[in-house]
């Protein structure tokens, strides 16, 4: 039996789905083999994938406990993953891909995608602040960034 490799540094991961795939490889393999794939088979439709994600994250929440900061952590993770799944589904549509190839060059498409990667990064950042710091620390960050003046202009 070979142990799983250690976790990767998540600060350089561009796809949110890869965070879970690479950070805790054993947990990912367990959820994939025994929860996600059995729920998604045989069609792997979007509805089945969403259900698989919800059930998998429910087990993570059950393991860590039904505390406010864990619920926020899980919900933000689910939102980020669903956004990524939606974008992948959109790009998998042949009509969208054909339109994109006709109207936007590869270089410009990458330029559009680059700032869009901030969205799942922000969800991941906030979720980890809640997970590691608790509800009080998470609320302080949310208040400071969204309600208060972050950079005083005088």
**pTM of the entire predicted model:** 0.83
What pLDDT digit, counting tens, does each position of 30-63 carry? 999 999 999 999 998 889 999 999 999 999 999 9
Q: 128: closest CA among 29, 32, 23, 21? A: 23
Angle at 118 (CA atoms; ends 96, 120), nearest 5 degrees = 75
| C-beta of residue 84 within 8 angstroms of C-beta of residue 15 | yes
């Amino acid at each position: 039996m070979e142990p799983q490799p250690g976790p990767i540094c998540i600060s350089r991961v561009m796809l949110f789905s890869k965070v879970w795939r690479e950070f805790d490889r054993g947990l990912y393999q367990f959820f994939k083999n025994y929860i996600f794939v059995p729920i998604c088979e045989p069609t792997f439709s979007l509805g089945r994938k969403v259900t698989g994600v919800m059930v998998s994250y429910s087990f993570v929440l059950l393991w860590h406990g039904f505390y406010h900061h864990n619920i926020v952590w899980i919900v933000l993770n689910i939102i980020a993953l669903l956004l990524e799944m939606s974008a992948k589904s959109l790009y998998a549509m042949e009509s969208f891909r054909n339109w994109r190839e006709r109207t936007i060059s590869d270089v410009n498409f990458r330029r559009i995608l680059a700032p869009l990667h901030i969205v799942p990064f922000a969800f991941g950042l906030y979720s980890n602040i809640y997970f590691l710091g608790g509800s009080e620390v998470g609320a302080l960050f949310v208040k400071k960034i969204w309600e208060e003046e972050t950079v005083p202009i005088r």
